[in-house]
Structure 1
Amino acid sequence: MVTAAAIDDSSLQLTFVLFLTVVVITLFTALLTAPQRDEISEFYLGNRAMSPLRNGLAMCGDYLSAATLLGSTGLVALTGYDGLMYLGGTTVAWMTVLLLIAEPLHRTGRFTLGDTIALRLPRRQRSVRLALSVCVLAVATLYLVAQLVGSVALLTQFTGVPSATTRTLCVAVIGTFVILYASLGGMPGATVIQIIKAVMLVVGVLFTAGWVLHHYDWNPNALLTAAADRSGNGARFLEPGLRYGGTVSNKLDFLSLELAIVLGLAALPHVLMRLLAPRGSGVLRSSLLWAIGLVGAICLGAGVLGLGATALVGQDAIVGTDRTGNASVLLLAHELGGSLLTALLTCLAYLTLLAVAVGLTLAAASSLAHDLYGEVIRKGRASETEELAVARLSGAVIGVLGILLALVAWGSNTATLAFLAFAMAASAILPTIIYTLFWRRFSAKGALLSLYGGLGCSVLLVVFSPVVSSTEASIYPDADFAWFPLQNPGIVSIPAGFFLGWLGTLLDKGRPEQSDVHEEFEIRMLVGADD
């Protein structure tokens, strides 16, 4: 956390005007495209006739958060090669989604992941839906808090450490916009802001990256040499191990982080919900290819921005402003284009975290309304009007919960919170997805043990990790009860989630699911109802 303003006030004022203008336009458009009828399919899935490019832009917008624009560039600016490796993991994660779960999930799902599990495990579907709703709520809320905390961290670059009133106002305003987009606009409204945000992100990042390369006559070697010279680490800046090298703990931490990123994406609730939106599997494949290309381009641009920040601003200036490196892209923008470019990128960062927060809120609200209320509480007897009302109310409740938790955790590192959400999703939700789709013997008891056990294991390891205590960057820096040495629990909790799903299935002595149920599920997974 910085202690003084990093950027001048004129940039903040211009940012406010630009952000408010974009929000008013997108909110008006979202309300115009919002569901006009009491049909849950329209609220959950939106316009299913969109082209692959528009679907790909929406997927890209759903995934890329402010942590990519601010945290990733900062990581590259401070750690060089290690930061670039992290960006590579972000791109590879989409390949996991494309090759492993996208089409089987799309063919067997309806509105939520719970519908896929219900088709595969019909006898005990309600208990599994309940467990899944708990996990979705936990992951989505933590990721939502990360976005709202990021809004305070971004404001800090302009005002220094904000007062309690300023923090509350910032989080409340962003959170209110999130509730309006999610609860009133549904999936159509969320799609509008995701597409606009993705287009702006691609243009903004690639334009600024091109400006950096132009400064060095489009010679990447010159950029790398200048970044190494001003990094304070010389040639080591361009070699592996600057941050995640040396001790065994550091190397395991990097492996744990990469596992969480690569596997966690395939289990994030808002990404899974987006996979169900395209009407046909062919459109889904093309959409994912667009998403992979767009995410890869932005990650490449973010790497150039990180190196450019070190080369043009200098690592000493970056660390002196913000030791986490989150200010690096804004300092670079100010160095290149003054207040105007700084305001444009800051507005883009706010729009990015707002769009991701909307997708998370909508996914959590859909799971609570459809899986928990519609299928567990009302046992499938709720009308569409009733379920839609619960979905809108759930969006408001989740938004308010996120605001309150963000005000408590405002000093936490945004990227750390986001990566913990990835680890929780990969530990609890991903094993259930994989076993449901590909293991014939998988049972409801295995699903319950995987969901609750994976979530509990990841949360337990986080509580007793350096994220919470024992270091200056911890939530409670003066306390010391961290016996788990790693920042991210993925390397332990992800295998634990898979093991518990396997163990629960072996221990399930109840009547196995009927073979004809599995055969019907398998046929649908391979062929689909729409192909």
Structure 2
Amino acid sequence: MVTAATRVASRFSLQLTFVLFLCVVVVTLFAALLTAPQRDEIGEFYLGNRTLSPLRNGLAMSGDYLSAATLLGSTGLVALTGYDGLLYLAGTTVAWMAVLLVIAEPLHNAGRFTLGDTLALRLTRLRRPVRLAVVLCTLVVTTLYLVAQLIGGVALLTQFTGEPNQATRTLCVVVIGTIVVVYAALGGMPGATFIQVVKAVMLVAGVAVTAVIVLARFHWNVAALLSAAERNSGLGQRFLEPGLRYGRGTTSKLDFFSLELAIVLGLAALPHVVMRLLAPRTNRVLRTSAVWAMGLVGFVCLAAGVVGLGATAVLGRETIVRIDPKGDAAVLLLAQSLGGGVLTAAISCLAFVTLLAVAAGLTLAAATSLAHDLYGEVVRRGRATQTEELGVARMSAAVIGVLAMLLALLPWEISTASLAFLAFAIAASALLPALVYGLFWRLFTAWGALLSLYGGLICSVLLVVFSPVVSSRPTSVYPHADFAWFPLQNPGIVSIPAGFLLGWLGSVLSGRQEDGSYEDFEVRTLIGAGRNGEP
């Protein structure tokens, strides 16, 4: 049997990938330590240097969102499914528009460090239970997404070495996890911002160069590229028409809609994205940063589409499927074909750095929630000193990193995509309803927040447990069992409305309004008066 290792990467490209990765890690670790907070101030650790330019903020925002799944999974999806893969990329781009138009500015004006701060300011009753619920949802979302990144590192290693043994797998997870913990625990937001900016620049440059090489091969004729992709797909016109993957039946169409709904709405409530939206000092910088981020994400997705079509046009769909049925190796195979070992090594190094950067942001968000919301506000009731809270944050980063490493090493057969999509679904079903209601609905109460947070979380998890992700299919975690009474792999189409409904129901049935004035809070969301103690 031909393995991915014999086709995707030569020994030279493997060695060059290791050298490039080591150089990037050493440079970014050194820079993260240099830019780390020099004072025991939680504001600097949580939000970093708030005087960054809109371009650097935009690069960091796009870096937080664009993961290795965009580089490997999305291009592979386009290479295997054509039109349906391009439609998926379009949903990834649209997600930032929802953030920019609806959430960004009100959240920035009303927030401080975390989503828990925003809800505590809005809801004057039951603040501690609400913060505790936010912490739980935040930890579940960030841990799932973080585990997906670590498992993705092993999957990427597989493209070079074949299926790794347990010792190699453990070493890969521990090395990546340890580097991530150092980024988050020592560098804080300044260190995480630096690696995100570096990663975003590398990602934009990497996909742009690859897309340019693909287009140059077809003489800058997009029609010729599409014709070659259609011809080499082995599927004819169906490759460029909807329905190849997501249109086989009503269930498949609903599953795709559910997935896109979770991606578009979940982005606005991902904890590390929320922290990034709170970092700019002024609304003007925030708006320009979000526009930069939206443009960069759109450009990367467009280039990823060109690369995916190029992989099919140059290599042929059957070749990609034979080496990697999921298509994750498509961009590496294309790089090997177009640029040899050098381009393969560059793309591979880029994928590893992308994993590190996203994982660092997730670890920092989880540590911030534990230290600030749980320890500082729930346990210590706001009486913790900044030095004390900062120490807890750094310790929490280590704990989260170790937990994610242990979960990533469990012998469960679940795809990284399923974990990431579940994280998006929970964010959209639990955190987003509480955030939207808290910002825009004057009748929202603490009971509504608790019901939406816990209800959205439980609903999302239960639907996935009783879905084909866990049982009834050859690709399921338990393929020989069958308790999948929920037919969709993505729960968002049910769990997101359920989260909003529970938030409304809890507020209506609680029978009382909050003690604070919504009018004062509304003014704050509009003009930002008193944010972070500023006039």
Task: Please classify the TM superposition score into its range, dividing by the shorter chain length.
Answer: over 0.9
For residues 293-442 of structure 1, the aligned pairs below 5 Å read 293-408=295-410, 411-442=413-444
Q: Give the Å deviation of 1:10.
A: 2.1
Aligned to 2:523: 523
Cα distance change of structure 1 residues 527 and 246 upon mapping to structure 2, 3 Å threshold: same
Q: 1:88 aligns with which of 90, 98, 117?
A: 90
C-alpha distance in 2 between matches for 1:336 and 1:245: 33
For the Cα contact (< 8 Å) 1:123–1:513, is it kept in 2? yes
Give the structure-2-normalised TM-score.
0.97
For residues 42-441 of structure 1, the aligned pairs below 5 Å read 42-408=44-410, 411-441=413-443
Q: Give the Å deviation of 1:188.
A: 0.2
C-alpha distance in 2 between matches for 1:32 and 1:368: 25
For the Cα contact (< 8 Å) 2:372–2:389, is it kept in 1? yes
Q: What amino acid sits opposite 1:522 in the alignment?
A: E
C-alpha distance in 2 between matches for 1:210 and 1:460: 45
SS at match of 1:326: coil
C-alpha distance in 1 between matches for 2:525 and 2:280: 16
**What are the superposed Cα offsets for residues 374-414 of structure 1, whole Å, 9 maximum, x if unpaired?**
00000000000000000000000000011011111664222
Q: Count how many residue pairs are aligned between Structure 1 and Structure 2.
A: 529
Aligned to 2:513: 512
Q: Give the Å deviation of 1:478.
A: 2.2
C-alpha distance in 2 between matches for 1:230 and 1:489: 35
For the Cα contact (< 8 Å) 1:152–1:410, is it kept in 2? no
- The answer on 1:445 being equivalent to 2:447 is yes
C-alpha distance in 2 between matches for 1:205 and 1:359: 22
For the Cα contact (< 8 Å) 2:138–2:271, is it kept in 1? yes
Q: Give the Å deviation of 1:142.
A: 0.1
**What are the superposed Cα offsets for residues 193-218 of structure 1, whole Å, 9 maximum, x if unpaired?**
00000000000101100100000000
Q: Give the Å deviation of 1:7.
A: 2.3
Q: Give the Å deviation of 1:475.
A: 1.7
Q: What amino acid sits opposite 1:184 in the alignment?
A: L
**What are the superposed Cα offsets for residues 233-282 of structure 1, whole Å, 9 maximum, x if unpaired?**
11110001100112110000110011011001011000000000000001
Q: Give the Å deviation of 1:362.
A: 0.3
- Structure 1 spans left out of the alignment, 5+ residues: none
For the Cα contact (< 8 Å) 1:149–1:409, is it kept in 2? no
Q: Give the Å deviation of 1:304.
A: 0.4
C-alpha distance in 2 between matches for 1:184 and 1:477: 42
For the Cα contact (< 8 Å) 1:66–1:349, is it kept in 2? yes
For the Cα contact (< 8 Å) 2:430–2:454, is it kept in 1? yes
**What are the superposed Cα offsets for residues 329-348 of structure 1, whole Å, 9 maximum, x if unpaired?**
00000000011100000000
**What are the superposed Cα offsets for residues 309-330 of structure 1, whole Å, 9 maximum, x if unpaired?**
0011111111111111000000
C-alpha distance in 1 between matches for 2:345 and 2:482: 40
C-alpha distance in 2 between matches for 1:193 and 1:41: 19
Q: What amino acid sits opposite 2:112 in the alignment?
A: R
For the Cα contact (< 8 Å) 1:149–1:411, is it kept in 2? no
Quick one: percent identity of the two aligned structures?
72
SS at match of 1:408: coil
Runs of 4+ in 1 over 3 A off after TM superposition: none
Q: Give the Å deviation of 1:499.
A: 0.6
Aligned to 2:479: 477
Q: 2:43 aligns with which of 41, 44, 47?
A: 41
**What are the superposed Cα offsets for residues 124-166 of structure 1, whole Å, 9 maximum, x if unpaired?**
1111000000000000000001100100000000111110000
SS at match of 1:182: helix
Q: What amino acid sits opposite 1:524 in the alignment?
A: R
C-alpha distance in 2 between matches for 1:223 and 1:454: 44
For the Cα contact (< 8 Å) 1:149–1:412, is it kept in 2? no
Q: What amino acid sits opposite 2:454 in the alignment?
A: Y
Q: Give the Å deviation of 1:13.
A: 1.4
Q: Which moved more, 1:49-58 or 1:416-425?
A: 416-425
Q: Give the Å deviation of 1:366.
A: 0.3
For the Cα contact (< 8 Å) 2:413–2:476, is it kept in 1? no
Q: Which moved more, 1:258-267 or 1:466-475?
A: 466-475
C-alpha distance in 1 between matches for 2:309 and 2:430: 36
C-alpha distance in 1 between matches for 2:10 and 2:163: 14
Q: Give the Å deviation of 1:4.
A: 4.7
Q: Give the Å deviation of 1:9.
A: 2.5
C-alpha distance in 2 between matches for 1:3 and 1:263: 38
SS at match of 1:290: helix
For the Cα contact (< 8 Å) 2:265–2:428, is it kept in 1? yes
Q: Which moved more, 1:30-39 or 1:414-423?
A: 414-423
C-alpha distance in 2 between matches for 1:13 and 1:259: 41
Q: What amino acid sits opposite 2:513 in the alignment?
A: P
For the Cα contact (< 8 Å) 1:149–1:410, is it kept in 2? no
C-alpha distance in 2 between matches for 1:24 and 1:291: 27
C-alpha distance in 2 between matches for 1:218 and 1:126: 59
Q: Give the Å deviation of 1:480.
A: 1.8
For the Cα contact (< 8 Å) 1:30–1:193, is it kept in 2? yes
SS at match of 1:340: helix
C-alpha distance in 2 between matches for 1:295 and 1:68: 10
Q: Give the Å deviation of 1:469.
A: 1.3
Q: What amino acid sits opposite 1:512 in the alignment?
A: Q
Q: What amino acid sits opposite 2:75 in the alignment?
A: T
**What are the superposed Cα offsets for residues 344-389 of structure 1, whole Å, 9 maximum, x if unpaired?**
0000000001100000000011011000110000000000000000
Q: What amino acid sits opposite 2:38 in the alignment?
A: Q
